[in-house]
């Protein structure tokens, strides 16, 4: 599980590692949006990603990966660019209209969870166990140790 900000450079650097670990270990990567106040377009990007998620998790994941890969090229006009280039006029109107309100609510709910957990940085990465014994979750503070930590949690 990761709390991420689509405008956060560190999140962008870590995202491919998390996706690879998810594929390697065949474990789900649960993404929570945590747009930080200092990032001027991250909330809009998260709303669009959530819109794509509601249609296809694969498309949502691909959108997030592309945003992370092109962070330096993106500016505040991301919603308009996405509407014009990615979605076409009808779907784009849905993102900015009723669907945008719904997905914006999902983004705000994720952010509320992060705030209630007193998270202050992105990415915040947790490994969550489905086992009844052992630690239910552990925070990954050093991504160089991600695979070692997953192996240790799987052994418990």
Query: Pick from 114, 23, 110, 113: which is nearest to 65 by CA?
Result: 23
113-132 pLDDT, tens digit each: 999 999 999 999 999 988 77
Domain boundaries, the chain: 2-155
* Token pair listed for 49: 């990603």
CATH among 1.20.1280.50, 3.40.50.300, 3.40.640.10, 3.40.30.10 for 2-155:
3.40.30.10
67-116 pLDDT, tens digit each: 999 888 887 666 556 655 554 545 555 555 545 567 778 899 999 999 99
Query: Pick from 27, 36, 28: which is nearest to 3 by CA?
Result: 36
Average per-residue pLDDT in the chain? 85
pLDDT at 27: 94
25-60 pLDDT, tens digit each: 999 999 999 999 999 888 888 988 888 888 888 999
């Amino acid at each position: 599980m990761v709390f991420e900000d689509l405008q956060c450079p560190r999140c962008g650097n870590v995202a491919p590692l998390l996706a690879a670990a998810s594929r390697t270990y065949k474990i789900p990567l649960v993404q929570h949006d945590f747009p930080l106040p200092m990032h001027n377009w991250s909330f809009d990007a998260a709303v669009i990603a959530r819109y794509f998620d509601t249609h296809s998790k694969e498309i949502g994941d691909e959108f997030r990966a592309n945003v992370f890969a092109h962070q330096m090229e993106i500016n505040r006009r991301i919603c308009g660019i996405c509407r014009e280039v990615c979605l076409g006029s009808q779907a784009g109107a849905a993102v900015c209209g009723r669907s945008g309100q719904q997905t914006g609510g999902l983004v705000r709910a994720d952010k509320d969870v992060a705030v209630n957990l007193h998270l202050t940085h992105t990415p915040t990465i947790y490994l969550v166990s489905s086992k009844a014994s052992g630690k239910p979750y552990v925070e990954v503070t050093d991504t160089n140790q991600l695979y070692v930590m997953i192996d240790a949690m799987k052994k418990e």
